[in-house]
Amino acid sequence: MRLMLLIGALVAVVVIAVATSGVTQVVSNSTNPAVTGNFQLMGCNAAIGPWDAGGGAKGQADAARLNDEQRNIVARIISIGQERKLPPLAWQVAIQAGMTESGLRPLNYGDRDSLGIFQMRPSMGWGTPAQVIDPTYAINKFYDVLLKVPDWENRRPGDSAQAVERSAFPDRYHNWESMAAFLLSELGQISDPAGCGSGAGQFLLGSNAAASAIEFTKQQLGEPYLWGGNGPDAWDCSGILVKAFATAGVKIPRVANDQYEKGGAHLPVRDAQAGDLIFWATDTSNPRTVHHVGMYLGNNEYIHAPQTGDVVKISKINWDYYELMPLAVRPGV
């Protein structure tokens, strides 16, 4: 994940170890970026955080079940990541991998010769038995291998964990996604791990592609809706967004339900920023029933091509509407 720096602003990170009931807390003084104009062009990575795995409530509940030993391992993962100047996404990958492999414990046993937090195998060149059981060695070794994974910064955390661990059960790392993100906030004091400026203002862009996409879509205001319309003078809800993001060099699928599933990084819909896509479905538990998509603009407004007989327009969002999908999509990250 890219660490975000606003122009003219420096973010200093201070790591302080605080013993609380035997648990080490890692404290950082990094803050959310501020918006200095109508739109602040920033990069960010939404592919991190509690989405698609139960949300923040699940993450908090899972974290509450950790004992002091496990929480100390998490704190060690975070502090070593900070010492190495690695972004929070790397910490999250390591937390998810450690929880999956060992329950965040430096085990002296495992499958075949697997040992330690990440169940590293000495026979596969991970180190000596004494080394891989040692948390400091194991965490550093995990980071060493993670940094060699191609494009790990742009993958979902569980997918990066799988690339390091090469498990026969690749999807299981996603189970701890929301817990790991919660722990970044609780122990790492990272309130905005994706660098997307949550809470920094309604006009904060969701991604670098958003400014171009918003500008293109607003230029189509008043154009008629046409089912299957790809422009230039008539549009349907998904077609206009394909062209909008193409102006920023970002390719997204053509139809709305594919845009929901494959159009970018997911995040909670109420955390949407300008340029993020929001969706409606007849059955919100089934993404294949998505039937409409719009682009969020901030200030509870979105722009969309609604239906036959209507035109491209800006509408107010009803956050409690029963067809509103729980996740938004951020193309281009």
Q: What is the pLDDT of residues 265-311, one digit of tens each?
A: 888 899 888 899 999 999 999 999 999 999 998 888 999 999 999 99
**pTM of the full structure:** 0.53
The pLDDT of residue 11: 32
CA distance to 202, 238, 266, per residue, from 270 (Å): 12, 21, 12
Lowest average pLDDT, out of 55-69, 161-175, 187-201, 239-253, goes to 187-201
Q: How confident is the model at residue 191 (pLDDT cuts 50, 70, 90)?
A: low
Which residue is listed with tokens 């491209």? 312
* Count of H-run helices and E-run strands, the chain: 10, 8
Q: Residues of CATH 3.90.1720.10 domain(s) within the chain?
A: 210-330
Among residues 247, 239, 242, the alpha carbon closest in space to that of 212 is found at 247
The pLDDT of residue 332: 82
The pLDDT of residue 209: 81
Q: What is the mean pLDDT of residues 17-23?
A: 34
The pLDDT of residue 211: 83
Report percent pLDDT > 70 for the chain.
Answer: 78
Alpha helices for 169-317 (secondary structure H): 177-186, 210-219, 239-246, 256-262
Q: How confident is the model at residue 31 (pLDDT cuts 50, 70, 90)?
A: very low
Residue 41: pLDDT over 80: no
- Residue 294 has phi, psi (to 5 degrees) of -140, 170
Plot region of 90 (φ>0 → left; ψ -120 to 50 → alpha; else → beta): alpha
For 210-330, the fitting CATH number among 3.90.1720.10, 2.40.10.10, 3.90.76.10, 3.30.70.1140 is 3.90.1720.10
Measured in whole angstroms, the distance separating CA 195 from the mean position of its chain's CA atoms is 10
The pLDDT of residue 289: 96
Residue 226's identity, in one-letter code, is L
For residue range 118-142, list pLDDT tens digits in order. 999 999 999 999 999 999 999 999 9
Lowest average pLDDT, out of 69-78, 149-158, 251-260, 310-319, goes to 149-158
Spell out the residues 6+ positions from residue 165 whose beta carbon is closer than 8 angstroms to its own. Answer: 97, 100, 101, 118, 119, 173
Among residues 195, 160, 187, 188, the alpha carbon closest in space to that of 174 is found at 160
Cα–Cα distance between 183 and 185 in angstroms, integer? 5
The pLDDT of residue 193: 59
Spell out the residues 6+ positions from residue 197 whose beta carbon is closer than 8 angstroms to its own. Answer: 4, 32, 33, 35, 40, 42, 44, 204, 273
Which residue is listed with tokens 């697997």? 114
Residue 179: pLDDT over 50: yes
Query: In 3-state terms, what secondary structure has residue 22?
Result: coil
For residue range 312-323, list pLDDT tens digits in order. 999 999 999 999
Structure-model confidence comparison of residues 11 and 219, the more confident one: 219
